[in-house]
Amino acid sequence: MRRSIFPGSFDPLTNGHLDIIRRSAPLFDEMIVAVLNNADKRPMFSVEERCEIIREVLPSVETDGCRMSVESFSGLTAHFAKEKKATAIVRGIRAVADYEYELRMALMNRRLEPSIETVFLMAGEEFSYVSSTLMKQVFELGGKIDGLIPEIVETKMRGKIEG
């Protein structure tokens, strides 16, 4: 049984995240999309909303039989992975700029839990500039981001902005 976690803030879920799920899920029997409950940040969506959105969108993603689930977590990613008996942490790399941060996290996570490997996947080049932060910024300022986030996310973002 090969179980992985795909941790992130997912505020909000983007098509870049879905691309990484689509590419990585077939490598595992099970994958938990692990949504960080980060008390320090002021997210656009609550952790419950983020989980709900991912649960709604996941059935449309082809995962080649990999059993998908969504859970929120607090604290350290490495500890959550261990608690869930996962053997891998999946992360996507978009561009060179991601590498240093991801390397530091992977090495720290390995120090914390040597039995858990971080598996990196290269995001599709069409998503190389897509980040949740950029999506929120452009959307809030009235720019078009269709095709870069799932439709349901755009609807929910509009709901947040229009109140």
**Which residues have C-beta within 8 Å of that of residue 86, sequence separation ≥ 6?**
3, 4, 5, 32, 116
Q: How far apart are CA 115 and CA 94, in angstroms?
A: 26
Question: Closest Cα to residue 53, out of 8, 94, 108, 14?
Answer: 14
Name the residue number minimizing CB distance to ligand PNS.
8
Instruction: From the candidates 3, 132, 136, 156, give the one annotated as an active-site residue.
Output: 132
132 is catalytic: yes
17 is catalytic: yes
| Helix or strand holding residue 59 (H, E) | none
50 is catalytic: no
- Applying CB under 6 A, which part among 18-26, 50-58, 101-109, 141-149 lies near ligand PNS? 101-109
Q: How far apart are CA 123 and CA 88, in angstroms?
A: 18
77 binds ligand PNS (CB under 6 A): yes
- Applying CB under 6 A, which part among 18-26, 62-70, 102-110, 155-163 lies near ligand PNS? 102-110
Q: How far apart are CA 131 and CA 113, in angstroms?
A: 28
| Interface mask toward ligand PNS for 3-22; x: CB under 6 A | ----xxx-------------
> In this structure, what DSSP letter does residue 85 have?
T
As measured in angstroms, the least distance from the Cβ of 33 to ligand PNS is 11
Q: How far apart are CA 134 and CA 129, in angstroms?
A: 8
93 binds ligand PNS (CB under 6 A): no
Which one of residues 105, 119, 122, 152 is an interface residue with ligand PNS (CB under 6 A)? 105
Residues that bind ligand PNS (CB under 6 A): 7-9, 36, 76-77, 105, 108-109
Active site residues: 17, 41, 94, 132
